[in-house]
Structure 1
């Protein structure tokens, strides 16, 4: 049973949400080579003729009253409802948008039957944006793991809209990469070439599919082809409307490669091994002093300050005192143009240096004894993982057992593990507090 949409009146945003009064519209996704429709993206609208009709106003109002995660679930559920009622069955694919923070909130009880039926009858690709990993990386990784556990695909949306998307693409590991529409309008821009080059490299390495958004003209279509896009979306193919009464047969469906690393990805921080545990299980360990590890650490940190495509930098410092004023200056300078830099330590503040994401560790946290420096970019990956042996005496003579790896899957596994420790941020960018079991 799919349920019944309760009518208005809609006196405020609470009434809209209580009535689940969201209407989905659908834009076709087309195989560029043949023009065949292989699926649809669901887009949401609020009640017509109300202040919440536009999706921007709808989500802004829900956010103001703290019900944006619930709205996110409602939008997806109503898309599932419409697709099920229209019998949009495999091999056609339904694309839906998701804010990973909604995963942390959990699906409302009244929508669970729809979700269950969708998992049984629909072929779904869930779209994430690069904004999500910066806001709530743990929820993003958990949400993508949940999608893949259901046999659904994952897409990274608006790639190129923000330089962060290139560096964060390896963490999402999407089956589908959606090129932002602005790339089609600036094909000669050096930044466009940078984005397209990184996406093509990723697609070649993983088998992922490239889809170009915002195709409106023959010229846009030609540019999309030149960028390696096999699929397209935009007004050239059709505007968002209700699903058709009948669907044309699909000769060749969108391929979901279920991109994944050889090593498993933990779903939550509860399940996450530490970076040292992950790397040391696969690489031999060496013992040395802090003084001799410092040059290696500095070398890897400096990678976040190199080249036109700076990587993500994640670092553990054990205790706040090791994040020295000199370190703060260095990290702040890198953060001015690096897409994402995070530091973790006992007693570390939320922003230990301008632009640096801080996470405070508890005294008994498993990371308390680890010194980790992990660097992940579109074309480079490396990790230094070290564990304190507990020596007394001068700080520089403290001994560590450590390993270094440049094996990309292993580095990514360590980096994803560390991302589970980062607290989500609020709308103001201030980290929120979550439990250790988040």
Structure 2
């Protein structure tokens, strides 16, 4: 083929499939679809294929092609509906309409296949809200979600509870460096999440018996790699040895952090001057380079996001997967690298001062409600609560994430994705 445009125009992508195996029994639970460009061409390798499509401005289209071709291959092979099909998705493509010629395959897959959408941690830092949008769309189709390559970038661990994946895929580098302190931190964070949520831990890159033994010590119950099978065409009529379970998705909550935490923790009254040291302490936790953390803060009004605060948050953003500031009058990027959200005057958050930190191994939230004093700024009083309960902190943080628009309108993009997938209220084929 002459160029990448011809490859894409002809949809010249071939899917290969690698088995996912239950380590304790050897039963096949599903397959991951892996895409290849035309054999013998400069675009045969997936990284070269996507790099060329990115330069051509057609990366999102390629992503749709790869997914559609994977669904087509599984359907043609008579894929057992109890088998799970893992398919990668670039979150950058989440809000891009599906090419019309591929829509029939996407619709057929929704009704006939049990799919897990894999998202990679490299997308977390680039557009966390966009990633959560893609995750929400997959769950709207009653499909599962996997977080891929966990451990390659420590920043992903802080956002893992917000993605709330059904499957956590340990990067193959973990198996090659089991004694590394970074590996130990990643494994501990993943194990804590899996224990709390019921998620499956899957180890990638298992090539030897030694790798398999290490994977077991890391809590993996599902394995993938050459030890179990290399990427290849699907056998005819692949059947499931067992069904990989999905976990319940997080419950949507339109309450504010103060109402969430205040309903379950005792409230205390204090002045702004008395609360400032607590607020600064939580910010300092987020600045720990050894544990990159999410920092979400509500400032009530843009005047409280002072130039000094903007500089401080900008520095924090350089070491965090997500730093966000919400308040009336704030812009979409009130400081370099900081995600902003402008609150309406009638928004309940307008009366709250919240500072929430979520890291791989720590979580803390200060939630406070303004009592409406009109005196000196430092003497303004708030009812507040402080919690380090991880589950409660994450619940409070999740209530803010939906207010952070991704790189395009959250509501518009989600509705578009739902329409593309053909999902309607009460429909779905999950499980």
Alignment TM-score, normalising by the size of structure 2: 0.84
Distance between the aligned counterparts of 1:204 and 1:241, measured in 2? 33
Q: How many residues align?
A: 411
Bigger RCO of structures 1 and 2 (CA < 8 A, at least 6 apart): 2
Report the secondary structure of 1:88's partner residue.
Answer: coil
Distance between the aligned counterparts of 2:263 and 2:95, measured in 1? 30
Distance between the aligned counterparts of 2:198 and 2:128, measured in 1? 24
Report the secondary structure of 1:318's partner residue.
Answer: strand
Out of 357-366 and 289-298, give the one that drifted further.
357-366
Distance between the aligned counterparts of 1:330 and 1:324, measured in 2? 10
1:378 to 360, 378, 382: 360
Post-superposition offset of 1:382: 2.7
Task: Give RMSD over aligned pairs.
Answer: 2.9
Report the secondary structure of 2:34's partner residue.
Answer: strand
Out of 15-24 and 96-105, give the one that drifted further.
15-24
Distance between the aligned counterparts of 1:392 and 1:161, measured in 2? 50
Report the secondary structure of 2:38's partner residue.
Answer: coil
Distance between the aligned counterparts of 1:363 and 1:127, measured in 2? 35
2:285 equivalent to 1:303: yes
Report the secondary structure of 1:104's partner residue.
Answer: coil
Q: How does 1:411-422 map to 2 (within 5 A)?
A: 411-422=393-404
Contact 1:45–1:53 (CA under 8 A) maintained in structure 2:
yes
Partner of residue 342, structure 2: 361
Q: Which runs of 5+ in 1 are unaligned?
A: 1-9, 267-271, 425-431
Structure 1 residues 286 and 71: alpha-carbon distance in aligned structure 2, compared to 1, 3 A threshold: farther
Contact 1:163–1:339 (CA under 8 A) maintained in structure 2:
no
Report the secondary structure of 2:366's partner residue.
Answer: strand
Out of 274-283 and 155-164, give the one that drifted further.
274-283
Structure 1 residues 385 and 104: alpha-carbon distance in aligned structure 2, compared to 1, 3 A threshold: farther
Alignment TM-score, normalising by the size of structure 1: 0.83
Contact 2:30–2:240 (CA under 8 A) maintained in structure 1:
no
Q: Which runs of 5+ in 2 are unaligned?
A: 414-431
2:135 to 129, 144, 147: 144
Partner of residue 126, structure 2: 135
Q: How does 1:22-421 map to 2 (within 5 A)?
A: 22-247=13-238, 249-256=239-246, 258-261=247-250, 264-265=251-252, 274-276=256-258, 278-279=260-261, 288-306=270-288, 308-328=290-310, 330-331=312-313, 334-335=316-317, 337-345=319-327, 346-348=329-331, 350=333, 352=335, 356-359=337-340, 361=342, 364=345, 366=347, 367-388=349-370, 391-421=373-403
Structure 1 residues 436 and 208: alpha-carbon distance in aligned structure 2, compared to 1, 3 A threshold: closer
Post-superposition offset of 1:243: 0.9
Structure 1 residues 259 and 379: alpha-carbon distance in aligned structure 2, compared to 1, 3 A threshold: farther
Contact 2:147–2:165 (CA under 8 A) maintained in structure 1:
yes
Over residues 109-133 of structure 1, what are the superposed CA-to-partner deviations in whole Å (9 max), with x where a residue is unaligned? Answer: 3333222221221111111122223
Post-superposition offset of 1:400: 4.0
Out of 85-94 and 333-342, give the one that drifted further.
333-342
Post-superposition offset of 1:99: 1.9
Out of 400-409 and 314-323, give the one that drifted further.
400-409
Distance between the aligned counterparts of 2:4 and 2:301, measured in 1? 45
Distance between the aligned counterparts of 2:384 and 2:25, measured in 1? 53
Contact 2:80–2:237 (CA under 8 A) maintained in structure 1:
no
Distance between the aligned counterparts of 2:410 and 2:150, measured in 1? 31
Report the secondary structure of 1:162's partner residue.
Answer: coil
Post-superposition offset of 1:154: 1.1
